[in-house]
């Protein structure tokens, strides 16, 4: 089974254990795929990359909720009644 690697930066698990911060920095801001026995094991992200990924997911979740609510019944509201 082939695996599609979505970054150009790779490192071995040994490199990550030896120097985790240096491994991430060596990618120049890109995610790093960590290889174990010549196969991708997982991706390693910087804090900034992880936070951006979480924010994108939250935005996608909010968009999904908003689209679902477009078809909800609308209730007229008078601002003076609030």
- DSSP summary character for residue 69: H
Residue 13: CB partners within 8 Å, gap ≥ 6?
A: 34, 35, 36, 41
Query: What is the model's pLDDT at position 1?
Result: 57
Mean pLDDT, rounded, for 57-79? 91
Report whether 13 contacts 35 (CB < 8 A).
yes
Here the tokens at position 30 are 């890109």
Instruction: Say if residue 64's pLDDT is above 90.
Output: yes
Predicted confidence (pLDDT) at residue 3 exceeds the cutoff of 90 = no
Nearest to 69 by CA among 81, 57, 79, 61: 61
């Amino acid at each position: 089974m082939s695996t599609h690697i979505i970054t150009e930066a790779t490192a071995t698990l040994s490199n990550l254990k030896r120097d985790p911060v240096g491994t991430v920095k060596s990618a120049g801001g890109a995610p790093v795929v960590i290889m174990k026995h010549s196969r991708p094991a997982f991706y390693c992200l910087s804090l900034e990359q992880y936070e951006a990924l979480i924010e994108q997911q939250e935005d996608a979740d909010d968009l999904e909720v908003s689209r679902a609510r477009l078809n909800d019944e609308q209730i007229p509201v008078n601002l003076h009644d609030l």
